[in-house]
Amino acid sequence: MKKYFLLFSLLCLSNFVQVRAQKYEELAKTPPMGWNSWNKFACDINEEIIRGVADQMVETGLRDAGYVYLNLDDC
């Protein structure tokens, strides 16, 4: 009986509590986006390749589209 009373009490109280989402204007307009070297080069990366990829991300407009991470995976 106590279990049902507690459940009933919680249900009644939940009608009085209002939960609202907080709005942050600049929070996560896009998901975190980036490029990972493993998918293309596996263990075969060097500074020249990574600098070239970074330059291409800028030149092709990916950076402006939200691709701001360049993750290095060298095995």
Tens of pLDDT, residues 25-37: 777 777 888 889 9
pTM to 2 decimals?
A: 0.57
Residue 74 vs residue 58, higher pLDDT: 58
Any idea what DSSP says for residue 69?
A: E
pLDDT band at residue 15, thresholds of 50, 70 and 90?
A: low
Q: What is the pLDDT of residue 10?
A: 66
Tens of pLDDT, residues 37-50: 998 899 899 999 99
Please give the biggest Cα pair distance in the chain. 72
Q: Rounded to an integer, what distance in angstroms lies between the CA atom of residue 42 and that of residue 45?
A: 7
The answer to whether 32 touches 66, Cβ cutoff 8 Å, is no
